[in-house]
Structure 1
Amino acid sequence: MKRKICVVTGTRAEYGLLYWLIKRLYEDTNVDLQIIATGMHLSPEFGLTVKQIEQDGFKIDEKLEMLLSSDTPTAIAKSIGLGVITFSDALSRLNPDIMVVLGDRFEIFSAAQAAMILRIPIAHIHGGELTEGLIDESIRHSITKMSQIHFTATNEYRERVIQMGEQPNTVYNVGTLGLEGIKNIKLLSKEKLSESINFKLNKYFLVTLHPTTLESGTAEWQIKSLLKVLDTFPKHQVIFTKTNADTDGRIINQCIEEYVLENSTRCCVFDSLGQLRYLSAIQHCEAVIGNSSSGLLEVPFLRKPTVNIGIRQGGRLKAKSVIDSSFKFTELKDSINKAISTNFNERLKHIPMVYGEGNTSKSILRILKKVELEGITIKKFYDL
């Protein structure tokens, strides 16, 4: 009998990480793949990226609307509640053997709450990590406690999940999914990438800035500080990708759009580049700037420098290609200059990888197929 495995995805970035796992599940004759798309995937404001899932040849079993048209804390809290209601209905219909979720976003939090109450086993990818400037920090650890199967990106993160009381034999260090896209996709040349985005690329930065959701009222001055620093690099073009559906994200997006209009010969902005174009943009850029987790996960694998700004990614393991900076003008400018310097880039050729070597989806698939499910939802706390 086929094992029904349901994968939940709510954002473009998360789907890019999950793609190769979804593909392997889809191609496995012993698995009945189910897909739930929700959150930003269904929003025209964020690129309606549900279309990308369908273009990749995957059938979406449920499309769950849960986002309110606001990014205030109240709206996010209400979206979580709406998500629990809609996921409860959808998971009751699908009745999967295992639900697979990744990360720490509020959409996934809703899915995990519903699955826990319905006694559906949860497999959680990327547990044990820290993002100390975000509500995602608490959400990630909460999902860990609601899950029965854990896939971590490093051994240190595995130990942290065990420290939270999870049984060691349920916690698997498999590396990060993000590296598989780099290994398995033929990336675009700079010329082909230029054609694809309709923007002639020379030397450029790739910039993504998300709100720091545990701070209040900082989004506007943070993005304006970054834009002011980018003005001091007039010979560098800038590709911006917009923020997620987080509190104050619209403020950042509006500032970026206004900046691009004022600097249209030098800058461009996208709701979503998609996995192929985004990874290709990393490959050819001078530096990745902002506070996206991809700057810590995928970018080092491509031997490119990351300027990681602020506290959003605080507490995460970082390769030596990552330069931490505050939003202060001089420090941020100096950090970018360091990132594009010849000496720093020479050292990138020899940095060790922190998050595995890119065979993660095979390991996850193997475990999902063989793990014993009888009585799995009855958890015992593991005391150190």
Structure 2
Amino acid sequence: MKRKLCAVTGTRSEYGLLVPLLKAVEREPDFTLQLTATGAHLSPEFGLTYREIEQDGFQIDRKIETLLSSDTPVGIAKSIGLGVIGFAEAFDQLRPDLLLLLGDRYEILAAAQAALVMKIPIAHIGGGDTTLGAFDEAIRHSVTKMAHLHFVTNGESARRVRQLGENPRHIYNVGSLGIDRILSLPHLSREELERSLGFSFRSRNLLVTFHPVTLDREPSGKQFQELLAALDALGEEYGLIFTGPNADPQSRELTRLTREFAAEHPNAAVFSSLGQTRYFSLIRETDAVVGNSSSGIYEAPSFRKPAVNVGDRQQGRLFASSVISCAPQKTEILKAIRRALETDCSKAVNPYGAGDSAEKILSVLKSIPDYRALLKKQFDPIRSDDK
């Protein structure tokens, strides 16, 4: 009998990472793929990106509404509660043998909570990372403790998962699925991008994404205004392509500020969702990635492109030599952008693998005869012979 593997996706970025694994599971005769879409995928404000999932040929088995008309901490906390309820109902109907979760979004936390009490084994992708500027850090480690299989992106993360008391036999360093995705996608030329986006490239061009920083004392809006001031100071010879923020507290303010900036700057364009093909093609065709998105850390190095990492949201992750970090202050951001444009990234090495993560994960999933045998786990302390 085929085993049912249920994957959860709540945002465009995490879905893009999952695609290579979803396709690998679909091809495997021993598995049946179940797919649940939630969060920003179902929101008009964030582009109704569930339609991109369907356009890619995937069947969405359940759509789980969680987002309220609010981006406040209270609204997000309520969304987690709605998610737990929705996932409990979905899992009761789908009866998966294993739950596939990626990352550290609050939708993922809701799914893990429901699966935990419903005795559904969890395979977690991307555990063990550290990020200082967002509550994603605590969510990521919480999901690790609820999960039974751990697919990490690098050796440092593997050691942190081990430090959390997880059995080393169930920790697998597989690299980042983002590199798999890059290698599998077609690339649009500059001319094709200009036609698709309705945007004319300038002599220099930057791809900008700034997400809320949920733990910093300084509000996200103030930090973003510093970034906008730095971009304004560059002048109109720089093309600026903005992608929208995640559905986190303060996201609406960032969206408003972005649109107001673009309305006053003919060299700027804003897109709530670009899709994976256009997004990665833009990394290839622009001069640098700027902001605080994890794509500047995970994917940009594979394109040998510099990434200006603003603020603390990604601090703690493993950085390639092409990543330039700076404080969220206008002068520091300007310095970092100018340094990035002068940096030779041709020899940058992506520390997150070589693009075979999906097959590595699939191989492990196939090798385990009984997922339910993983449910009873105990804290495994680090011993003197651990390396």
| TM-score tier (shorter) | over 0.9
**Does the 8 A contact of 1:81 with 1:110 survive in 2?**
yes
Distance in 2 (alpha carbons) for counterparts of 1:237 and 1:164: 44
**Secondary structure of 1:337 counterpart:** helix
- The Cα of 1:28 is off from its aligned counterpart by 1.8
**Secondary structure of 1:200 counterpart:** coil
**Does the 8 A contact of 1:3 with 1:369 survive in 2?**
no
**Does the 8 A contact of 1:179 with 1:301 survive in 2?**
yes
How big is each residue's C-alpha offset from its partner over 1:199-219, in whole Å with a ceiling of 9 and x where there is no partner?
Answer: 122321000001110124612
Distance in 2 (alpha carbons) for counterparts of 1:64 and 1:371: 29
Give the AA of the match of 2:339: K
**Does the 8 A contact of 1:123 with 1:151 survive in 2?**
yes
Partner of 2:111: 111
- The Cα of 1:68 is off from its aligned counterpart by 0.8
Partner of 1:382: 380
1:226 is aligned to 2:224? no
Partner of 1:185: 185
Distance in 1 (alpha carbons) for counterparts of 2:28 and 2:47: 30
Partner of 1:237: 239
How big is each residue's C-alpha offset from its partner over 1:169-203, in whole Å with a ceiling of 9 and x where there is no partner?
Answer: 00000000001121122211111111111112232
State which of 353, 360, 364 in structure 1 corresponds to 2:361. Answer: 364
Distance in 2 (alpha carbons) for counterparts of 1:215 and 1:67: 23
Distance in 2 (alpha carbons) for counterparts of 1:7 and 1:93: 14
Partner of 1:63: 63
Superposed, which structure 2 residues align to 1:6-85 within 5 Å? 6-85=6-85
Partner of 2:271: 270
1:149 is aligned to 2:146? no
**Secondary structure of 2:299 counterpart:** helix
Distance in 2 (alpha carbons) for counterparts of 1:136 and 1:225: 23
1:256 is aligned to 2:243? no
Superposed, which structure 2 residues align to 1:190-209 within 5 Å? 190-202=190-202, 203-209=204-210
How big is each residue's C-alpha offset from its partner over 1:272-331, in whole Å with a ceiling of 9 and x where there is no partner?
Answer: 101100000000111100000000000011000000000001111100100000012211
Go from structure 1 to structure 2 and tell me whether the alpha carbon gap of 1:331 and 1:114 turns closer, same or farther (over 3 Å shift): same
**Does the 8 A contact of 2:121 with 2:372 survive in 1?**
no
Distance in 2 (alpha carbons) for counterparts of 1:356 and 1:131: 20
Give the AA of the match of 1:338: R
In the TM superposition, structure 1's runs of 4+ consecutive aligned residues that sit over 3 Å from their partners are none
Partner of 2:385: none
1:353 is aligned to 2:354? no
- The Cα of 1:223 is off from its aligned counterpart by 1.3
- The Cα of 1:353 is off from its aligned counterpart by 2.2
**Does the 8 A contact of 1:47 with 1:272 survive in 2?**
yes
- The Cα of 1:220 is off from its aligned counterpart by 1.6
**Does the 8 A contact of 1:128 with 1:160 survive in 2?**
yes
Distance in 2 (alpha carbons) for counterparts of 1:164 and 1:317: 19
- The Cα of 1:236 is off from its aligned counterpart by 0.6
Partner of 1:137: 137
Structure 2 gap ranges (5+)? 383-387
Distance in 2 (alpha carbons) for counterparts of 1:31 and 1:157: 28
**Does the 8 A contact of 1:64 with 1:87 survive in 2?**
yes
Distance in 1 (alpha carbons) for counterparts of 2:110 and 2:306: 35
Give the AA of the match of 1:284: E
**Secondary structure of 2:373 counterpart:** coil
**Does the 8 A contact of 2:298 with 2:350 survive in 1?**
no
- The Cα of 1:109 is off from its aligned counterpart by 0.2
Distance in 1 (alpha carbons) for counterparts of 2:41 and 2:245: 13
State the identity as a percent: 49
- The Cα of 1:374 is off from its aligned counterpart by 4.0
* Range 66-75 or range 179-188, more displaced: 179-188
Aligned residues: 379
1:294 is aligned to 2:291? no
Structure 1 gap ranges (5+)? none
TM-score (norm. length: structure 2): 0.96
**Secondary structure of 1:375 counterpart:** helix
**Secondary structure of 1:323 counterpart:** strand
Distance in 1 (alpha carbons) for counterparts of 2:181 and 2:66: 29
Distance in 2 (alpha carbons) for counterparts of 1:172 and 1:190: 38
**Secondary structure of 1:108 counterpart:** helix
How big is each residue's C-alpha offset from its partner over 1:135-192, in whole Å with a ceiling of 9 and x where there is no partner?
Answer: 1000000000000000000011111101100000000000000011211222111111
1:126 is aligned to 2:126? yes
1:323 is aligned to 2:324? yes
Partner of 2:161: 161
